[in-house]
Amino acid sequence: MSATYRIQDEPSPGALGHLVVNPVFPLLAFMMGGVWLGVPWFILNGFAMGSTTRRKETVLAVLVVPGTLLLAMLLGTLVQAGVLTKTSAPYAGVSAIVWRLAMGYAIFNLQQRSFALHEYYGGVVRNGVLVLVAGVFLGSRLVAGLVGENTLLQVLLW
């Protein structure tokens, strides 16, 4: 009778385990490249490393765009109601950026724990610099090409 020893919190990488990167790269992609790059990369990284919190990470990542849209609609309603003036609205619009950054940082913190265990137990870790740099430099053209002149979608994805 042979028993295998397993730590419950230890990530169990799947078939994509060779694609794991340090979560700081998806966070930087989220901040500098935009939501279009950061959100899918966080989700892929969580599943690739077998993160124990990947469901939470995925839920938070999926809530980024609808949350930004709801915040933009709320700010638009406040401007139309006269609560915010047209000159103060751009300052209130910073809250959308803060929302996205806070969500990215929350996902990063969740993923960092599993990544530390993944790395400690000898898991494969790739360097994400090339994807990050390509996303930052090519991202604006890609997003503009995908959504065209729709500025609302550009704001939501960038």
Q: What is the pLDDT of residues 42-89, one digit of tens each?
A: 999 999 998 889 999 999 999 998 998 899 889 889 989 999 888 888
**Quick check: is 9 in a domain?**
no
**Quick check: is 15 in a domain?**
no
With residue 9 as reference, give the H or E element that holds it: none
Are 20 and 121 spatial neighbours (Cβ–Cβ below 8 Å)? no
**Quick check: is 105 in a domain?**
yes
- Looking at the predicted structure, is the pLDDT value of residue 14 above 90? no
**Could you tell me the residue range of the domain that residue 61 belongs to?**
20-157
Model pLDDT, residue 155: 62
**Quick check: is 14 in a domain?**
no
Q: How confident is the model at residue 92 (pLDDT cuts 50, 70, 90)?
A: confident
- Looking at the predicted structure, is the pLDDT value of residue 2 above 60? no
**Quick check: is 5 in a domain?**
no
| pLDDT greater at residue 146 or residue 3 | 146
Of 57-61, 108-112, 134-138, the one with minimum mean pLDDT is 134-138
Closest to 57 in 3D by CA, of 22, 123, 103: 103
Are 45 and 70 spatial neighbours (Cβ–Cβ below 8 Å)? no
Model pLDDT, residue 96: 87
Residue 25 has which token pair?
């790269």
**Amino acid of residue 61:** A
**Quick check: is 113 in a domain?**
yes
Model pLDDT, residue 6: 56
**d(Cα 115, Cα 28) in Å, to the nearest integer?**
16
Of 5-14, 52-61, 89-98, the one with minimum mean pLDDT is 5-14
**Quick check: is 13 in a domain?**
no
Number of domains within the chain: 1
Residue 97 has which token pair?
């950026």
Model pLDDT, residue 29: 92
